[in-house]
Amino acid sequence: MQDKIQQLQRTEIYLAQDPDNRDLLARAIDLALACGDIERAHNHAAHALGLWPADDFFRYRQSQVLMAQRRWNDAAPVLADVYANQSDVAVAWALAHCLFRLNRYNDVCDVLARHQDDRDWPLEAVITHLRALHHTGDTESAVALVERHRKRFAQDAHFLAVVSLVLLDHGDIAQAADVAGVALAQDDSLPEALVSCATIALGQGDVDLASHQFQAVLARLPEEGRSWSGLGMVSLMRHDLASAEEQLTRAATLMPNHIGTWHLLGWCRLAAGSLDQAEDAFKEALALDRNFGETYGGLAVVAAYRGQLELAQELIKRATGLDSDGLAARYARMVLAGDTLDRERFKALVFRVLGSRPTAFGISMKEAVQRHVQT
């Protein structure tokens, strides 16, 4: 770093004598960025663009300054324009990085798919591509990408951590566990490997290990929604409804488009007797997908407990029309029939419902839940 600082100082001395020198300006921008002096990099880039406003050579460097400033919305269109003129690998990777930061995962995949067979495609780009595919739910393409690059990066812990989560959500739990274990053996703080292991531990009923690993992720990434949802499931399996509601509420805030988390939260609130709040959670799920039977079943349970007979029956009909085996609709019928279970029996049924619902983890939690309730 000291050497780079000295190089920057010497370059600026030369620039003072020849301020419009193209090569010196480019070198000054690159060195300032390498030194972490974003303001100096910005000043040199602004001067260069004043001289050559349409020059992709300097527009690319302008984007690097904007990215260093975390101005992703400003950097992305600059890079898109440069990339349209020249599909350079470095430009593609920078554009994909910006788009990923903006949660534009489909756009990330569109850019990176054009380069996925490049032999010199960097590890960071492959990892970003895997993460983007995973966010879009296209685990099949993600697995294919893993196989394309597995030999090149088979010893890299960061690559393996991401791969473990892809495999987990693709349903290959055994291989996900193996890969995550190899990654954590090299670096026991890798979030994606920890999420994979914690999820698998939860599915095996090891709530203590799952809790420890989810908490380890959140200590490093406090906004990691899957881990909050995981802790919420841990608390539900421990019958700690107060903690579960707090954790699931946080998860739903971070993952507002995940219907399974809203279901978990709705049933958690039902178990606590908070009908209005439970209804709110199920309505959030309904807004995401109006063709999911168990959402209507959850709303039917709320209506049944309120004594809204006609509404409950209407919701039960809708629920069973979409899912004839829906557990929530069956429970709503029990409530309407006057079978008001005692609190412990009700909790047991709630946990059975939760076990059959999709979660943020990519695997069914049914077996895990059944280990912790008496049916």
Read off the CATH number of the domain in which 344 is found: 1.25.40.10
Portion of the chain with pLDDT greater than 90, in percent: 68
Q: What is the DSSP annotation of 249-264?
A: HHHHHH-TT-HHHHHH
The answer as to whether 191 is a domain residue is no
- In-domain check, residue 306: yes
Q: Report which DSSP code applies to 50.
A: H
Backbone angles phi, psi at 53, to 5 degrees: -65, -25
Burial of 103 (0-12, 13-18, 19+ CB in 10 A): exposed
Nearest to 121 by CA among 86, 153, 73, 74: 153
Looking at every residue in the chain, the average pLDDT score rounds to 88
Q: Assess if residue 327 is contained within a domain.
A: yes
The count of structural domains within the chain is 2
Q: How confident is the model at residue 6 (pLDDT cuts 50, 70, 90)?
A: very high
Per-residue pLDDT tens over the stretch 104-134: 999 999 999 988 877 778 899 999 999 999 9
Q: Are 374 and 212 in contact (CB under 8 A)?
A: no
Q: Looking at the domain assignment, is residue 232 inside a domain?
A: no
Share of the chain above pLDDT 70, in %: 90
Structural domain boundaries enclosing 264: 245-375
* pLDDT tens profile 269-309: 988 889 999 999 999 999 999 998 989 999 999 999 999 99
Give 133's contacts (C-beta < 8 A, 6+ positions apart): 105, 109, 139, 141, 142, 145, 166
Contact call for residues 249 and 241 (beta carbons, < 8 A): no
Q: Does residue 294 fall inside a structural domain?
A: yes
Domain boundary among 21, 36, 69: 69
Let me know: does 295 contact 321? Beta carbons within 8 Å: no
The answer to the question of residue 65 being in a domain is yes
Q: For residue range 172-226, list pLDDT tens digits in order.
A: 989 999 999 999 999 999 999 999 999 999 888 788 999 999 999 999 999 999 9
What's the whole-number mean pLDDT along residues 332-340?
80
**Cα radius of gyration rounded to whole Å, the chain:** 26
**Rounded Cα gap, residues 126 and 148, in angstroms:** 10
Instruction: Calculate helix-pair angle for 259-271, 241-254, nearest 10 degrees.
Output: 160
In a domain, 315, yes or no: yes
Q: Is 141 helix (H, G, I), strand (E, B) or coil?
A: helix
Residue 108 lies in a domain: no
> Which one of 69, 104, 124 terminates a domain?
69
Contacts of 334 (CB under 8 A, 6+ apart): 341
Residues 6 or more apart in contact with residue 47 via CB below 8 angstroms: 19, 25
The CATH number for 8's domain is: 1.25.40
Domain-ending residue, one of 69, 84, 105: 69
Contact call for residues 328 and 297 (beta carbons, < 8 A): yes
